[in-house]
Structure 1
Amino acid sequence: MCNERACLGSVMAIPGRGEIARNPEEVLNDAKDFLGQYFASIRRANTPAHEARWQAVQDEVARSGTYQLTTTELVFGCKLAWRNASRCIGRIQWSKLQHRNVIGN
């Protein structure tokens, strides 16, 4: 789904198919991969916390077809995306990305 212009890995609807949502299996596969990377990065892979979070994500996807990232997961995902943006000349600074809460629009 991604190309040289945009990463669409986090999009829950499939581009070009209107508002047709991704199927739950695809969402779960991507979530499992992401959570594996996240928990490995904080040296908590295969711990009770990792297993509990994976179970919570599975439950939420089963209920709604999607799931919400925690703030720390979101920050990790942003840093990971910037680090992996091969065409960005500023990506060497990826680890210094800071999160700022913005309430409202």
Structure 2
Amino acid sequence: MDVQRSIRGIKDEPAIEAHFKHFGIANAVIVTRNRRQYSVLLPPGSTRGWDIPWAECVGTDHQQTHLAVPHPERRAWPGAYWLLPAPDTVAALAAPQAVLMLIGGGRGR
């Protein structure tokens, strides 16, 4: 799930990290190599039924089915890296409700 709309205007990386954590997202956030996109990993199928025009979802229920991810230990630029730790279990993926609140879609599905 791409979430850059929710962090528009925040430039400082510690502030971006704090913004995710404010919404209860402590793991599973990837930063692209150009540092312009942030992706949050969610449990499979959790975005099924979401109708949020600005949210780009990846997975078998969506047009785009693959997402390149950095090595689990890569935590810094250059290249794509994990802003927040790579998940090591399904339980460490971001909670769908937290992401909905982050992107402003928490008013329902």
**TM-score, length-normalised on structure 1?**
0.26
Using CA pairs under 8 Å that are at least 6 residues apart, name the structure with larger relative contact order, 1 or 2: 2
**TM-score, length-normalised on structure 2?**
0.25
Higher strand residue share: 2
